[in-house]
Amino acid sequence: MEEEYSIVDTSKLLQAASDFSFDPGTRSEAAVKEFLESFPLPLIISALQTKGDVPGLEDALIDCLEKIFRTRYGASLIPHFMPFIVVGLQAYSQRVRALSCKTISSLLENLEDNTGLAASLIKENDAYPLLLNCLIDGDEQVAVAATDAIRNLAGSQQGIEIVFPSTPNEATDITKLAARCSPLGRVRVLALIVKLFSTSRAVARLVYNSNLLGVLEAEIRNVNDTLITLSVLELFYELAEVQHGMEYVSQTNLLPLLISIIRNSSAESMLRSRAMMISGRLLSKENIITFIDESGIKAVITAIDERLPLLDNQDADEYECALEALGQIGSSSQGAALLLSNASAAKHVVNAAFDLHGRGRQLAALHSLGNIVGETRPENNKLLNSNAEETLRRLVYEVASNSPKLIPSGLVLSILKLESEFRIAGYRLIAGLSARPWFLVEICSRQEIINIITDSYTETTKIGMEARYNCCEATYKALASSSKFLSDPALSGTAEKLLEAIKKGPYLAKGRKYEARPEVATADRF
């Protein structure tokens, strides 16, 4: 057989393979069968192994084989060529190794069923340890392909038994593998743990019971390598984003570890900032209290609050990250209430939101305050408990009375007179705060504010138009929901003006003074 395919017109094969793989997308079953009738798989594989110095042949054959094995018919041929796949996983060529990893994925995706045929082939040919080697030692493309193949393998019961054997050996024990890797290899192994965790609830349970999340925790404790710690923090966040993730992540020491990083003055600022941001993202979920108790959330808020005075006028980036993190925590109603129970942390956000001297921090604080007051929450969930609401009202009036503007509407108007990015944050703030009667009176009694938010020509960007429209809509709904306000003659005109702006929609308001004109005119004809 080898002699039969040892002599081949490589130029003809190169042209045919190039033509076959040039067509983007997946080739049809018929096209694959037709191609293999002219160039059988043994011939292609033999040419790939003995490609010599023919320029472009390896790349063309690899692209060709990828398309062949991606089809169901092509995948059905893979079991007959497992020895080639095993050799390919150990090849010097990174492209051949990547092809072999992708071929195993195709085998699992197309042929795995209740019989466990694909997993059995992988086990019989001892391919799993080779996939792990590709993950650790291969280039980026090989590592990605190997990760995908291992995740596909864990998608079946037979595959789970290969990845999580009852008695793991030295070569396949993921914990030991991470310990003996290079830093890059270790990050890849940790990323694999996260991918496995997201495969299914059953696999997530195995990952947790195998203490693989403990491997990630250990890396966070090692603050000497900032880049690895940053990578692992992001991986933990990915875990929490998985549908079944928080129930397991909440049982780890992640939150105490994040708090310790935030409080660690000797850690790099970038690391503390990332710990704050990931804490905020983790605690921003509306149902977070189901997984993490109030004391844990309060501990994060306190840690950030203690850090803020140390950053004032020193580290602007970290200060902004701290404000953003508080805003993310406050995006849920429970988080907002707990944040406002810490008067010091809440005061930092409110003061910074109306401080015209720190432009970056003011913008961050405005968006954070917009989250806290409920701009991102459903209409029936904007208001908080009475203590939180009273704290919010007091802080806003306090910062206003200590400013030249004296009242909240003056502060808001000063923001709306700034450039677009600040106006957008101002719209968000009004949309959230307008649910409070005390603030609604402030806004509606200031005709300059109503004129700005109802002006269809104020904003020129999509995000700006949408923010202004949402602001009008929220303010009108707040007015319309109160018979007390609607019966006030002084406010009836304001309600009509808001309604008129809403009817125009966020874009392309009727009566625009400046219509878009083509830059290139059509040619004059006879």
Residue spans per domain, the chain: 253-403, 434-507
* Percent with pLDDT over 70 in the chain: 92
In the predicted structure, residue 4 carries a pLDDT above the cut 90: no
Q: How confident is the model at residue 113 (pLDDT cuts 50, 70, 90)?
A: low
In the predicted structure, residue 524 carries a pLDDT above the cut 60: no
Query: N- to C-terminal Cα distance for the chain?
Result: 74
Residues in the chain: 526
Give dist(CA 32, CA 106) in Å, integer: 15
Q: What's the pLDDT score for residue 482?
A: 74
Mean pLDDT, the chain, whole residue set: 88
For 101-124, letters b (16+ CB in 10 Å) and e give bbbbbbbbbbbbeeebebbebbbe
Give dist(CA 368, CA 225) in Å, integer: 31
pLDDT digits (tens, 9 = 90+) for 8-42: 678 888 888 888 888 766 778 888 898 888 888 98
In the predicted structure, residue 485 carries a pLDDT above the cut 70: no
pLDDT digits (tens, 9 = 90+) for 349-401: 999 999 877 788 899 999 999 999 999 999 888 999 999 999 999 999 999 99
In 376-461, alpha helices (H): 386-401, 408-416, 420-433, 437-444, 447-453
Q: State which H helix or E strand residue 120 sits in.
A: helix 117-124
Residue whose C-alpha is closest to residue 103's, from 92, 114, 87, 115? 87
In the predicted structure, residue 237 carries a pLDDT above the cut 80: yes
In the predicted structure, residue 224 carries a pLDDT above the cut 80: no
196 in Cβ contact with 154 (< 8 Å): yes
pLDDT digits (tens, 9 = 90+) for 295-329: 999 999 999 999 988 876 677 889 999 999 999 99
Cα distances (angstroms) measured from residue 170 to each of 44, 167, 177, 179, 181: 36, 10, 8, 11, 13
Q: What's the pLDDT score for residue 143?
A: 96
Q: What's the pLDDT score for residue 372?
A: 96
Q: What's the pLDDT score for residue 167?
A: 82
Burial of 157 from C-beta contacts in 10 A (0-12 / 13-18 / 19+): exposed
Cα distances (angstroms) measured from residue 469 to each of 131, 248, 381, 432, 507: 53, 41, 20, 13, 9
Cα 125 versus chain centre, distance: 37
In this structure, whether the domain defined by 253-403 belongs to CATH 2.30.30.240 is answered with no
